[in-house]
Amino acid sequence: MISDESDRFNPRDPKPADAGKPSKSAKRREARKLATQALYQWHMAQHSLNEIEAQFRVDNDFTDVDGAYFREILHGVPAIKGEIDKALVPCMTIALEELDPVELAVLRLSTWELIKRVDVPYRVVINEGVELAKVFGATDGHKFVNGVLDKLAPALREAEVKANKR
C-alpha cells in the first residue's frame, strides 16, 4: 500500500497526541455545570452529599468532566456554606431566602471558588458564574449573578482585583 502524502508526519503541523480531547478548563467547566445541578438538588431535596454524588456519577458521563473538581465543589460548598452566605449578603439587594435556587447554587459555587481556589483568577470565576447562570438561571439571572460577583470579588480578592485594575 502506498502511503498518501497526508499520512506523513509534518513537523510544521504537529498534532498533539491529545488532539480532540477537552482541555483542563473545559473539563472544569463541565464539572461546574454538574456541580451547580448537584448543589441545587442538595439545597432543594436535602439529600446527603454522598448520595447526590453517587447519583450524578451514575447518571452522567464523566469522560469530559474533571471528576475530582466536581467532588471538591460538591463537598466544599456545603462545608463552608455559612461563610459563603455571610460573604454574599452584603453584595445582594434581596435576601438569600428570596433568591432563585439556581442562582443561589451558582453564587455559592462561585463564592466558594473565590474563597478556596485562589489559583483560579477572579475574572475566570466571575465569567464561569455568569455562564452557568445563562445556562441554568432565569432570563436575566446572569445579570444579577454578574452584579453580585463584581461586588464580591474585591471583598474576597482585594489584592488581585487591585493588581488587575492597574
- pLDDT tens across 77-124, in order? 999 999 999 999 999 999 999 999 999 999 999 999 999 999 999 999
1, part of any domain: no
- pLDDT tens across 127-154, in order? 999 999 999 998 999 999 999 999 999 9
Residue 157 has pLDDT above 60, yes or no: yes
pTM of the model: 0.86
98, part of any domain: yes
Residue 6 has pLDDT above 60, yes or no: no
As for how many domains the chain has, the answer is 1
150, part of any domain: yes
Rounded Cα–Cα distance for residues 103 and 105 (Å): 5
Mean pLDDT of the chain: 90
At a CB cut-off of 8 Å and minimum separation 6, what does 108 contact?
Answer: 39, 77, 81, 84, 85, 88
3, part of any domain: no
100, part of any domain: yes
Domain that holds residue 106: 23-160
165, part of any domain: no
Question: What pLDDT is attached to residue 16?
Answer: 52
Question: What would the grid cell of residue 157 be?
Answer: 480578592
